[in-house]
């Protein structure tokens, strides 16, 4: 799987992340970068809040990466297939 150079940060998560302490939020963001870049899964057995948020957010990151790879694969195939009305050029 090709890895993009970035991952999305969804504003829907802001309310939940703001419920964390600054220390917890910092740990979470660092672990999200580790996960996105190197695939490292941080174990938060001692902190249920971080464990739940990390699981939820990494699942979304994985879905986004899958979408990215699908777009890359489709891009390799070229433009619209022959006969597709979108491929028609107006002269």
The string of pLDDT tens digits covering residues 16-60 is 999 999 999 999 999 999 999 999 999 999 999 999 999 999 999
- Domain range holding 55? 11-74
Question: In this structure, is the dihedral angle defined by the CA atoms of residues 77, 79, 83 and 85, taken in order, positive or negative?
Answer: positive
Given a cut of 80, is residue 78 above it in pLDDT?
Answer: no
Q: Is residue 65 part of a domain?
A: yes
Q: Is residue 83 one of the residues assigned to a domain? A: no
Is residue 90 in some structural domain?
Answer: no
Does residue 46 lie within any of the structural domains? yes
Nearest to 16 by CA among 25, 7, 6, 8: 25
Determine contact, residues 31/7, Cβ cutoff 8 Å: no
What pLDDT is recorded for position 89?
Answer: 65
């Amino acid at each position: 799987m090709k890895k993009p150079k970035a991952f999305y940060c969804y504003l829907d998560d802001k309310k939940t992340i703001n419920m964390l302490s600054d220390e917890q939020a910092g740990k979470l963001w660092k672990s999200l970068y580790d996960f996105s870049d190197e695939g490292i899964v941080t174990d938060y057995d001692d902190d249920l809040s971080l464990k739940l948020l990390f699981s939820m957010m990494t699942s979304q990151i994985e879905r986004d990466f899958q979408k990215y790879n699908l777009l890359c694969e489709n891009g390799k195939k070229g433009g619209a297939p022959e006969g597709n009305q979108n491929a028609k050029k107006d002269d």
